[in-house]
Structures are given as C-alpha cells and as structure tokens.
Structure 1
C-alpha cells in the first residue's frame, strides 16, 4: 500500500459513509443529470428569462435549467440571480440550488441570506447553514399553533425538485423540475401525519390550485405505508411505498372528459429523514385555548421516485407541459403499462413555517382534504364530500 493511498484512507475511514462499494452510489436519481436536456433554449435565452420574465415560476425554472448545465463553469453565479430576485420563495429555493449545483458558492450565499429581508428566507438559510456546519438548527421561530380534532396532527408543505426522464424517439431526455415548476405541473405537495401512526404511515396531499372551471382547487390523496426507525434523539428515518388507487383520465389530463376514465394503482417510493424539535404551542379548540409544549417535525429531507404517463398530445398542442398532464401510474398495472412513458425522481425538503403571517409556526393549520386511508374529504371537514368536478 502506497503512503499516498494510506493517507487517503486514513482521512476518510472515520466517516460512516466511507466505503469502496459503488453500489452505494446508485440512487433513484443517479446519472439522470447526464442525459441530454429536454429544454432547447440557449444559455443566453435562459439568462434573459431568469432576469426579466414577469413570472417567478418561469424565472426559477430558467435558473435551475441553467445551472444544471454547469453554468458556474461559464461565469454565471447563483448569487447574481439571488440578489436581483424579488420573490422570496424563489430566493429560498436558490439556496437549495446552490448546494446542488454550485457548492463552492453555497456557503457564502447561505451566510449572505441569513440577513435577508424575508423571515422565511432567513429561516431556510439558517437551516441550510446548520446542515453544512453539522450543528443544531436555530430557527427564526420558537412558538406555534395547533388545532385539536383535525384529521392530522401535522400538515407540512414540501418543496420538490428533480427530473422527469422521457423518451423522444430513440433518445431519453431529462426535464429539470425546479420547485415552483414542479408545483405548477404536479400540484403543491403536503405531507400529513398523525402522532399515533408516525412511524408507519404518511399521507400525501396534492393540490392543483384553481384547477376547476370555477377556480376551486383539485386534490389528490396518496397514502404511504412503510417502516421508520430513530437514528438519533430527534432524527427519524422513513422508507415508504404507495400503490394508491387513483382515477386515470384517458384523455391525458386530469378531469378532462370524466366519462373516459379508469381506476388504476400508482406506484411511488420515498426515503426521508425527519428532524423533530419541541416548541411552545397554542392549542386551539372551539371556545378555548390551551398552552403546552409539543414535539413537531421541524424539517424533513429525502428522495422520491415514481412512474407516470405524460400526455405528448397536450404538450404538442400547447408547446409546454400543462398542469395535470403527468398522471402517476404503475408499470405493473398490465392494462396501462404501455402508457408509462415517464420516470420521475428527485429530492424534497420541507420545514415547519408561518404560512398565514401571524408570526407563529403552523403545526396543522393547513387543512388536509383527505383521510389517512386515502379517501378524499373535499371540504376538509371529515364529511367525505366528493370532488364536484371529478
């Protein structure tokens, strides 16, 4: 053994991730970034949209596409876009992008964002800083609210990023899904948990905001089941699968021509780590309030994968990927297996936050429109009202 190799081993052997087995490097997302891009815009066109487009979603989408082309190697910086960006949610997600695609700039950008004008951006920056430095997260918030009697004890919106892998002719292309664009296409995703089943079950709500003809929302409910274990005093590892039964719209778009549908099982998996913390909460019931200490999920991170049918017809007609045109299905469903033309994978993050602007963390203030077993509860009041447009 050469001295150089011995020193290399000595430097790394104490890490629990150290090893020589390349099988450990194969994940849901591995090698996807090396596929050719679905987005045919030039670097200059992407930069123009990133700086000047009126839509925060389109600006973010362009920046993420740009940096997955290794934009840092040709002189672009995440910091430049961060400093000119007016939308706080885009700025918060740029911290995540820097960690993914511009790691040498990530630490300085996170430190810069700790002084951001937005409390939410500051909180995200402190969370990223805690992970980078491997120190406890010191949040901007220390108090929250909890509503007794709801279907779930915590409802936590997620930011989701990743890729769709789709064949075009004989070539597989990667579609870079930035967080706001993912939510635009697939709906806002929210993780919902109950205290008594926290270690075995998770319910995911997807919301397509304003999707109905009258401007109301469309919801889908996915129950996940699996196994969890404590990895430290406050960290928990979760490994979950779902094969939830859903309605598949044969037209290619959700709620388009409800007379032409079939029931299918979708298939998806997720691996996550949740980190808990104790906070002072104001417990609310009809007619009274109670103040106590409650353990909540402070933040979560992980990976996901699944399969889908992406409607090529709708893409060709509109020139873009429209909301509701990527429907999750399962390749083991014999009748619809030929329609599987999309593999979706990526990462997600979420943290407890103040969504209603009252200065307090919302533990379960956001109502879930479903039950733990996957049944839709459209009014969110346990009446099990159906979707009026499905």
Structure 2
C-alpha cells in the first residue's frame, strides 16, 4: 500500500510541487459557465469522490483514521531490498527477466523518488513485455497527481488495445473515481465452469516481524508478477447466479512442479455484496480453506515437517458491470478493484543474504494463520495490498474474452485439472504435495 501513499501525506502535499493541473485537465471551464444539468452531474461526481477520500486526512475520531496497521508498519519497517537506486533503475530497464524488471520499477516507485514516473514512462514505452507495461501504468496511477494523468495520456492511442484501455481506465479513476472503458465487443463462451475468468493484478506489501520484540520489521513491496511467481497467478471466477454471495479465486503457480504442471491453489470466498447501485457491487468476502502448512516456508517442501491448518483471507472492494456484455440476461463484470489482507510465514533463513532473484522463486513463501497452536507462533508476516482486474482480449482478435482463461477449479473451489466441472478429488482445493514425492 505504500506506493499508494506516496505524495499524499500532509507533509508531501505541503513540501512538494505537485505539478500543474493545466495540462492534466482538458478544456477547463468556470463553474458559472456550466449548465444546470452539468452542475448536477459535477456535484454528484464530487459527492461520489468524497467516499474514496483517505480518512487519515479528514478531521474526526482517530479510532477511524489512525488505526491502519499497514500504515503504521510502513513508517517503521526497513526495506529488505537493499539495492541502490542506480541498481534499481538499471534493473528496471535492462534485466532479462520481466518479473525482475517490474519488481525494480515498483521498488523504485515505492521509494517515492521525484523521477519515478519518468522511469515508469520509459518502461511503458519500451518494455517488450505487455504485463510489465500495464503494471507500470498501474504504478503511475498509484503515484497520482497531474504528472500521472499527463503521462497516462501518452498511451491512450497505444498500438496494444489493452495498454490503451488501461490508460483510459486509470485516467478516469484519477479524475472521477470511476473506471472508463473502450468500445470493443465481448465474447462469452458457453459450457465453461465459470461465467467469467478475470485476470488479477495484485500488488502487496509484505511486512515481516524480524524478532520477538515486535520492534523490528522488514518490508518487501511485491509487484504483480513477482507476487504471482511466489504465491500464484490469480483469477477471479464469478458466476452470475451466485456472484453476490460467493466466488472462487483460482491460483496457479508455474515452475513449482518438476513435471511442468501448474500448482493449483483455489480459494472459495463468501460474503455480502451491496447492490444499491445497478451498475456495480460493493463487496466484503472472506475465505477459510484447509491447507498443508509447510514449516520450511516453501510450498511443497515437507523437509521441515508439515501441519494441517485452516487458512483465512479477506478481500473487499467494488466490481463494475458492463451492460453491453450479457451473460444469462445479466450484465457481466467488466472490472474489479479492491484490497485484501491476510497472514503469512516467511522463513528468514530462506532469504537472508540472498539476491532478489533467489528470493522471488515459485512457492518461496506460504500463507498462514494465527488460529492454530503450532502454526500461529510461526506466523511472522502481515500481508496487505490492492488488486485490479479487467476483462482482456487474450487472443488478439479485437474482441474481449469473458471466460476464456484456463482455471482449474469447480464452482466450490475443488481442483479440476481437466476443467470438466467435476472435482478430481472431492473436497481437495490445493494440489496434494504427496503425489509429487519420490
């Protein structure tokens, strides 16, 4: 979350030049020049935006705005990525691994340097990996301000429609609080388990307790591709009939199994959704799933022993509907955004003295819980962050794909390796590591 806080503290707002809004606002007009209908729409947009104002900067009860645990930790945690700024800039533009280029970009942005947006712009312009490009656009939005908007505008006509649409979406969010999309048509594929499979971008800050005194904390700001490499690439998988009360987050980790098969790790979430507006849903969902906890701190590595535990996670946010995309006579979800939080275990011996390339490896970190007599005392990481996901055109035919992504889950989160809607093994929601033992 720290990138999102950059340039937004009272000190930053007072001391730094935020830049001019003249270039960030198209054709500015005076309020008195607006018509009655325009004034009403502007007032509605203003009141809507107030709901997303950071409460830490609004007078009121400190219990409501000064109790953010992640915000408190971010002020005291030391960076576990100790590369110099020059090393980060070099890695961001020239590292051969796209996930490492992206990780350097996010770490540099998280340090809040004045030229961060300029470095991110260079990556969007020149990086050959489209995910690095759209994740860099997201980092630009996180930094915010007039410079972010003018930079995002440079990519509105990008040759990659996804880059152009992400730019349009981020600009709209910064200006109005709501997303905006292009006019492409959508394609729904009948007969699949889920009505939609939405590819998620996830950025998180991992705060690690470094000793039992609770006075020393470390921090890693994980960019989307780095997080996906360790914990798995996630897809949000809703069905129209049940999306207001449950959905599956289907994750796959590539490169963990020696045979090349994806490591499947599915989470069934349940919760409440507010539908007082027809064009969106505000939700708060929780998941509680049985998992094998690897005491080594590395997924599928039982060398230090294993324990069975129930792992909980929370996610909350908003999904936005697209009336043009109809599924079972209902508007499909075109975009989702929100926050999440949970607990983890980081084996400090697995990362001490190692390069980031050695740390950001498949499975090198496990989710955890405090509610278990053995696992609880080992839990040392607080995980929180933000996620965004929109429907994309994955095959390049100019049409947005609603549910074409391969996800290995039943509607109840059970492993379904052949995607026929039937569980490989009733009740199993994560790959069984014992099948991989020699």
For the aligned pair, the TM-score class normalised by the smaller chain equals 0.7 to 0.9
Q: Flag the 1:30–1:372 CA change in 2: closer, same or farther, 3 A.
A: farther
Q: Which moved more, 1:351-360 or 1:267-276?
A: 351-360
Q: How does 1:218-367 map to 2 (within 5 A)?
A: 218-257=263-302, 260-280=305-325, 295-316=331-352, 319=355, 320-321=358-359, 322-367=361-406
Superposition deviation, residue 251 in structure 1: 3.1
CA distance in 2, matches of 1:237, 1:280: 19
Q: Which moved more, 1:208-217 or 1:73-82?
A: 73-82
Name the SS for the 2:410 alignment partner. coil
Name the SS for the 1:275 alignment partner. strand
Name the SS for the 2:79 alignment partner. coil
Partner of 2:41: none
Q: Flag the 1:317–1:251 CA change in 2: closer, same or farther, 3 A.
A: farther
Ranges in structure 1 where 5+ consecutive residues have no aligned partner: 1-12, 284-291
CA distance in 1, matches of 2:117, 2:336: 33
Alignment partner of 1:151 is 2:187: no
CA distance in 2, matches of 1:75, 1:330: 37
Q: Flag the 1:37–1:103 CA change in 2: closer, same or farther, 3 A.
A: farther
CA distance in 2, matches of 1:273, 1:129: 18
Q: Is this contact kept in 2: 1:238–1:272, CA < 8 A?
A: yes
Output the TM-score relative to the length of structure 2: 0.77
CA distance in 2, matches of 1:258, 1:197: 40
CA distance in 2, matches of 1:75, 1:384: 46
CA distance in 2, matches of 1:97, 1:373: 34
Q: Flag the 1:329–1:279 CA change in 2: closer, same or farther, 3 A.
A: same
Partner of 2:203: 161
Partner of 2:169: 127
Ranges in structure 2 where 5+ consecutive residues have no aligned partner: 1-45, 426-430
Superposition deviation, residue 124 in structure 1: 0.5
Q: Which moved more, 1:111-120 or 1:144-153?
A: 144-153
CA distance in 1, matches of 2:117, 2:196: 43
Q: Is this contact kept in 2: 1:368–1:380, CA < 8 A?
A: yes
Q: Is this contact kept in 1: 2:274–2:281, CA < 8 A?
A: yes
Which is strand-richer, 1 or 2? 1
Q: Map Cα deviations across residues 45-85 of structure 1 (whole Å, 9 max, x no partner).
A: 11111121111111111111111111116895432343332
CA distance in 1, matches of 2:125, 2:372: 48
Q: Flag the 1:94–1:258 CA change in 2: closer, same or farther, 3 A.
A: same
Q: How many equivalent pairs are there?
A: 369
CA distance in 2, matches of 1:385, 1:302: 31
Superposition deviation, residue 27 in structure 1: 4.2
Choose which of 91, 98, 103 in structure 1 pairs with 2:133.
91
Superposition deviation, residue 311 in structure 1: 2.4
Output the TM-score relative to the length of structure 1: 0.86
* Cα RMSD (Å): 2.6
Q: Flag the 1:347–1:149 CA change in 2: closer, same or farther, 3 A.
A: same
Superposition deviation, residue 312 in structure 1: 2.5
Partner of 1:389: 436
Partner of 1:9: none
Partner of 2:89: 47
Partner of 2:224: 179
Superposition deviation, residue 295 in structure 1: 1.4
Q: Which moved more, 1:150-159 or 1:378-387?
A: 378-387
CA distance in 2, matches of 1:249, 1:58: 26
Name the SS for the 1:30 alignment partner. helix
Q: Flag the 1:124–1:75 CA change in 2: closer, same or farther, 3 A.
A: closer
